[in-house]
Amino acid sequence: MHTFFTKNQEEKELNKNKHNNFCDNCLALVKLQNTNLNLQMAEENTNVPAEETVETQETKVVAPVQDPKEFLENFNWEKYEQGIEKVEDSKLEEFEKLVSENFVDTADEEVVEGTVVYLTDREAIIDINAKSEGVISLNEFRYNPDLKVGDKVEVLIDIREDKSGQLVLSHRKARTIMAWDRVNAAHDKEEIVSGFVKCRTKGGMIVDVFGIEAFLPGSQIDVKPIRDYDQYVNKTMEFKVVKINHEFKNVVVSHKALIEADIEEQKKEIIGQLEKGQVLEGVVKNITSYGVFIDLGGVDGLVHITDLSWSRINHPNEVVELDQKLNVVILDFDENKSRIQLGLKQLEKHPWEALSDEIKIGDKVKGKVVVIADYGAFIEVVEGVEGLIHVSEMSWSTHLRSAQDFVKVGDEVEAVVLTLDRDDRKMSLGIKQLTPDPWTDITSKYPVGSKHSGIVRNFTNFGVFVELEEGIDGLIYISDLSWTKKIKHPSEFVSVGDKLEVEVLELDVEGRKLSLGHKQTTANPWDKYEAEFALDTVHTATIADVVDKGATIEFNEDIVAFVPQRHLEKEDGKKLGKGDEAQFKIIEFNKDFKRVVASHTAIFREEEKRNVKAAVKRQAAAADEAKPTLGDANEALQALKDKMEGKA
């Protein structure tokens, strides 16, 4: 039991709390405390008179002779009530000072410095100046394989007393606490820290900084894009702490920030010396579909895809590759020189300037198809020199077609030079000129009246275009398609791609025009129908359709006749309807206009006329036979007179 000396009850309670806090260290202070008490008792015993003593078993103590009144006045009633003796404030302060200077408060969770006093195979014994030494597993010192006795290490009191009464310390927790302090200080002061790259992770790397696992984003490793992250694993590098999340205990570091600081100085120096036309050496930093970014030593410039090569290319990687060193020329830059336009092809002579003077109009050249458009194809005759073959120069045919019908990208073709302008760097070529013009002997091959077979290539509202051979097209007007059918649009009669028999009707060599006919290849059936369906001939047919002004009847597949409304009346006064079969008389036939008009009513009306004429003739004959006499006439006149006079 350890005794503290207090002034009053409040001090007693305070000292009891202090006793609880320092109990682990008090055993180490026993000798110091007893020494102070012995010194105090020795001082008090020197004042005891020698006359009176109290005998004990071992020693004799001289008891002072004191007046009872004086004794009562000086009696320490507090000591008598509390059972403890008061200690002077100065001595108490001296005691607390010794404790604070020499001993560790094991109740506080703070980092303290300890000394390695002993090492085993599995543990390190650490003295932190407490009542006992602490124990730490050697696993917490794996980062420091050279740990030895006498080394100073930072520790945190993990367990004050375990089951065996042992003080347990933690070096790892102490490192974490101290590391956070160091990381925060490095972030606030923008200091450079050293870290060990442990491994890769999604989006970047994990770096050990002061024992804390920090995140290094892939974009913060270097100023240029990183393609191989594994090259940085297990390397020690310098970093700058750029972000700390205290809530989630996250740390973000950057190596790029250190490089940018150096590059910024180089950039200012390089930008200040830039001039148009200046040739610089650079490294391919990035390749995109529209161009290449070149690192000029801290300053980036762009070589557009059109400035990479005089030849036409589809992608920049056909010319350059990443990390390639090459010379480029400065073409232009903005006022701040922050956007620099570079060129690569400008370092070489323009291909048109190197084009041979021997090439002239009419020469045959060979080249590769590099681009195809609807209007034609571009042929690269030599590297960087292209000529256009218009679609109209690909075939002698005049009907509309696309360039894709003749060539495709990558084809090797032969063509004839049609035009050549070295100043404007333009060249036009032709393929059809390699074959004879089919119109040169058109009169002998396709004379008027000759019959041929062709392919329907296209049609319009007024006719059909038929190709007799490559380059020879003719037009069949809609009126020359059929003798009998009334065609409103050619698509009702033929389709594109159909084979059609034609006859040459007209030929215009200068205008390169050919007029054809299809119906002329067969006999005109109206010549035969003219006699068969002559006027007043009677035919039996069925009403096919009824319209507002009449009805139509079909005598055969070619002859469709029209029956006016008033000619549909039957003998009984009713009218014929759709589907009724009857006899019809032809009352009009026009071969030129292919018009046929028939009548049902005319059949029985004609018979009525004949009957009326016959009746008239019979009546006339009867009248002649029964002519009245003079007496009969007188009697008739007398009867009429009597009637007029009112006589009976």
Average pLDDT value for residue range 252-278: 78
Task: Give per-residue pLDDT as tens, 59-109.
Answer: 444 555 567 777 777 766 666 666 666 667 777 777 777 666 655 555 556
Say which range, 164-173, 560-569, 601-610, has the weakest mean pLDDT.
Answer: 601-610
Q: What does the angle CA 501 – CA 506 – CA 511 come to, to the nearest 5 degrees?
A: 115
Average pLDDT value for residue range 27-42: 41
Average pLDDT value for residue range 579-597: 84
CA count, 13 A, side-chain hemisphere, 107: 9
Q: Name the DSSP letter for residue 635.
A: H
- Dist CA 253 CA 245 (whole Å): 12
- Label residue 425 left, alpha or beta by phi (over 0 means left) and psi (-120 to 50 means alpha): left
- Dist CA 361 CA 456 (whole Å): 36
Q: Is the pLDDT of residue 447 over 60?
A: yes
CA count, 13 A, side-chain hemisphere, 602: 17
Coil, strand or helix: which one is 219?
A: helix
Q: Is the pLDDT of residue 501 over 80?
A: yes
Task: Tell me whether domains 190-261 and 274-343 share a fold.
Answer: yes
136, 170 Cβ separation under 8 angstroms: yes
Higher model confidence: residue 72 or residue 426? 426
Higher model confidence: residue 53 or residue 232? 232
pLDDT band, residue 637 (cuts 50/70/90): low
Say which range, 104-118, 161-175, 179-193, 204-218, has the weakest mean pLDDT.
Answer: 104-118
Average pLDDT value for residue range 395-417: 82
- Greatest Cα pair distance in the chain: 227
- CATH superfamily, region 441-522: Nucleic acid-binding proteins (2.40.50.140)
Task: Give per-residue pLDDT as tens, 353-389.
Answer: 777 777 888 888 888 998 888 889 998 888 888 889 9
Q: Where are the domains of the chain?
A: 109-176, 190-261, 274-343, 351-434, 441-522, 526-602
- Dist CA 411 CA 423 (whole Å): 28
pLDDT band, residue 11 (cuts 50/70/90): very low
Higher model confidence: residue 166 or residue 615? 166
Q: Is the pLDDT of residue 31 over 50?
A: no
Q: Is the pLDDT of residue 334 over 50?
A: yes
Q: Match domain 190-261 to its CATH number in 3.40.80.10, 2.40.50.140, 2.40.170.20, 1.10.3210.50.
A: 2.40.50.140
- CATH superfamily, region 526-602: Nucleic acid-binding proteins (2.40.50.140)
- The CATH code of domain 274-343 reads 2.40.50.140
135, 123 Cβ separation under 8 angstroms: yes
In this structure, whether the domain defined by 109-176 belongs to CATH 3.40.50.300 is answered with: no
- CATH superfamily, region 351-434: Nucleic acid-binding proteins (2.40.50.140)
